[in-house]
Structure 1
Amino acid sequence: MKEKKTIGLCLSGGGALGFAHIGALQALEERNIFPEYISGASFGAIIGALYSYGYNPLEMRYIVQEKKLYNILNIVKPTHLFRSKGFSSNKKVKRVMKEVIPVERFEDLKKKFALSLVDIAIPQWEIVSSGDKLIDSIMASMSIPVVFEPEIDKSRILVDGGVMNNLPVEPLLEKCDRVIGIDVQNIGTTKKVIDKKTLGQRYYGAMMKEMQKHRVSLCDDYIWFPRLEDYTFYDFRHYQKIMDIGYEGTVKYLDELEKKE
């Protein structure tokens, strides 16, 4: 990575598994890898926005703990997927985000930041990277359909960007010499018993894996974490362990990369 001047970082969605992004960022910074352009979907949009605002990974760990972000988001459960409109308002999450990111415009962030969201009325995904609806856009990007209520913008019904673009590398391709994709939702082969708790995750993960194959191929570096298969989208209480998996997995990837170079 040393020969490249401009680095872009794409953070996938994945519910509670998205806490791994914080550990991954910590590992990157320890190797003096500081992305200038950030993109994200769903939970990756939350972490990407915090990083773009100026928080370092250790500060983000503190925010998760101090603001009890893990607890606020812990309302996401498998049983909630059968509610009609949305299990919960995202007001608590939005209040915390406004508190920790006290700016309204994308342009006020310290790093260039973009996120994916979906207008489910069309349906069509889009990238948002400018304007004065930063927090609303973040909320839309993480509004899992039938779990959180969607964000309504006039005739548009905006939901989780991960529904159609869970690894939004597109805004990074023309601006960056090197694109790092961090995917917390990739699934591999498993010999473990697939129970009710993990069936939905593997089903959704399989769809995501097939949907974003071409985006993976656009990444110069693609990092994913097999050890996350011990956890689900809903395991917010295990946020510390998940962050550590992201850190250790990224360290391992970078060590292997250095050996090749």
Structure 2
Amino acid sequence: MSDNPSSASIALVLHESATMLEQRLVDALHDVELGTNVWVASDDHTISATVEVAHVDHVSEIEAALSSSLSVIANQWLSDRSGETPRRNLECVIPPDVKPSLWSALSTPPRTFTLSIEATLTPEHVTSANRVPFPTTEGSLALVMKGGGIKGLAYVGALEILWGHYQFDHFVGTSAGAISALLLAAGYTPTELKEILSEKDFRDFFDAPWYMKPFNLMFYGGMNPALTFTDWIDVLLAKKLNSSTRVRMSELPARATVFASRRNKPALRFDSESDDADAGHAARCSMSIPLVFVPQSDQGFRTYDGGMQHNYPIDELLRCDPGAAFISLYLGPETYQPSRNRFEFWEWVSIWTEGADAELLKRYRDRTVVIDPTPIGTLDFDLSDEEKDYLLQCGRAAALAHLEQGSDRHNTAVQMRDQMRQQVMSTRTARQRWRWSAQFALFIGALFLALAIVVYRWWL
């Protein structure tokens, strides 16, 4: 007699599991004060569930209630065309407690089930329905990284966590995100990048002598040529790919797409699938923060920091590949925070290069890792080891919030991040006071010197 269960017994096991799952969904929605209709169906191979609600505005509340009870690994809006019922599909892991005793007898039991939350859209919602493909383990998956200057070090911490959950084959970025994109596309792992960046003194990129900065700014449009940056990234890329010459975009093992800005022109796009420019040149163009670094020249036009046009280049990715699956890394607070340094020059530059990306964050929040690096600023290139470790921890905590929010590991990471933030803020406050004291002492010294010169000349 064969040990393999018959089709009838398989269907019976799945039907029993579906009945148990339906009761679990009803229990999960018990405290939701909305009218719902729940049913679960099964066939010979799969289980599917449906929750009906009256209006699309109720979908998010239902999803939140179910997500707290189920392990949701993916989500997607479907049927956003006029006249069709809108559906929010969740791909969920089948809970152990809805697997009957004969479940282990199945040769290939399903691991997940699709849960569809259905509603009726009003006409004004039809045009705003957000159709977003969710990442799966199959096919191409892009990693999109926002610009943010030195704060981009936090990406490495996030990728330490994400690297074991996603297999990225396309890296997209601007400014700091562009640098990360090119190094990742070259084959560097997050562990390797952490070691490299933790040892790097980023002040080296401000490579003009102090007496040349006004001259460079006046005649070249930026204070620092950043030749040290170009040499640094060229060496890293060549070392990884064992190249005796500068690495070109087309030589990168994985696909990379980075952006630079141009005045009165569309943004400059460097794509390893179609461009043969030097990868180091592409990175240098994308990180040309206005006034701080000398703008580069490409195709006869000056190029500036990519963040001036596409600081968070999700739309550019989807414009060229509407069906692209992606995960994005976003540097900044999740909610609006007013600037604390309204009159500082560096703060104005930060606002200029970062732009307003709140709408993109809202639209694609379910696939975005939000990293809040407060109080580190875009141009704080004089990072201490303590501040570098803090940025890495910010990335780790954000990635865990994306993957397993509320878990013990996430809560521990958040607690550690908050403790490090307090220490960093205390250290930075003390350092700022020391700088003010030093500047005041220099001013008083210069004043006394000038007074001494005047008295000496008058006495003579």
The two structures have a TM-score, normalised by structure 2, of: 0.49
Aligned to 1:109: 252
Does the Cα contact within 8 Å between 1:52 and 1:111 map onto a contact in 2? yes
After superposition, give the CA deviation of every residue in 1:171-205 in whole Å (9 maximum; x if it has no partner): 54327652111111456344895565598269717
> For residues 179-236 of structure 1, what are the alpha-carbon distances to aligned partners after superposition, in whole Å with 9 as ceiling and x for unaligned?
11111145634489556559826971797225x624762575112123x122211223
Instruction: Calculate the aligned-residue CA RMSD, in Å.
Output: 3.2
Q: Specify which of 188, 196, 205 is matched with residue 55 of structure 1.
A: 188
2:398 is matched with: 249
Shift of the 220–99 alpha-carbon distance from structure 1 to 2, 3 Å rule, reads same
1:162-177 matched pairs, under 5 angstroms: 162-170=307-315, 172-173=317-318, 174=321, 177=324
Q: Is the 8 A contact 1:10 1:168 kept in 2?
A: yes
Find 2:355's aligned residue among 192, 201, 208: 208
Q: 2:228 aligns with which of 84, 89, 92?
A: 92
Between the two structures, name the one with larger relative contact order (CA 8 Å, sep ≥ 6).
1
| Contact 2:205-2:227 within 8 A present in 1 as well | no
Secondary structure of residue in 1 paired with 2:303: strand
Contact 1:7 1:176 in 2 (8 A): no
In the alignment, the residues of structure 1 paired with residue 390 and residue 190 of structure 2 have an alpha-carbon distance, to the nearest angstrom, of 15
Measure, in 1, the Cα distance between the counterparts of 2:276 and 2:406.
Answer: 38
Q: CA deviation at 1:25?
A: 1.1
Q: Is the Cα contact below 8 Å between 1:180 and 1:220 reproduced in 2?
A: no
Residue in structure 1 matching 2:280, options 132, 135, 138:
135
- Superposition map of 1:1-261 within 5 A: 4=136, 5=138, 6-30=140-164, 32-66=165-199, 68-73=200-205, 83-84=217-218, 85-102=221-238, 103-120=246-263, 122-129=264-271, 130-170=275-315, 172-173=317-318, 174=321, 177-186=324-333, 188-190=335-337, 194=341, 196=343, 200=347, 204=351, 208-210=355-357, 213-214=359-360, 217=363, 221-226=367-372, 228-236=373-381, 237=383, 238-256=387-405
The one-letter code of the counterpart of 1:157 is: R
For 1:51 and 1:180, locate their aligned partners in 2 and report how far apart those are by CA, in whole Å.
15
Question: What's the % identity of the aligned pairs?
Answer: 19
Whichever of the two has the greater Rg, that structure is: 2
Change in Cα spacing, 1:203 to 1:47, as seen in structure 2 (3 Å) is closer
CA gap of 1:218–1:104, structure 2 versus 1, over 3 A, is same
Pick which of 233-242 and 213-222 moved more: 213-222
Gapped regions of structure 2 (runs ≥ 5): 1-72, 75-134, 239-245, 408-460
Q: 1:220 to 1:131 in 2, by over 3 A?
A: farther
Native 8 Å contact 1:107 1:131 kept in 2: yes
Whether the 8 Å contact between 2:207 and 2:227 is mirrored in structure 1 is no
Q: Deviations over 1:23-49 (max 9, x none)?
A: 11111013x212111100001100111
Q: Give the conservation status (yes or no) of the 8 Å contact 1:7–1:178.
A: yes
Shift in alpha-carbon separation, 1:190–1:150, aligned structure 2, 3 A: closer
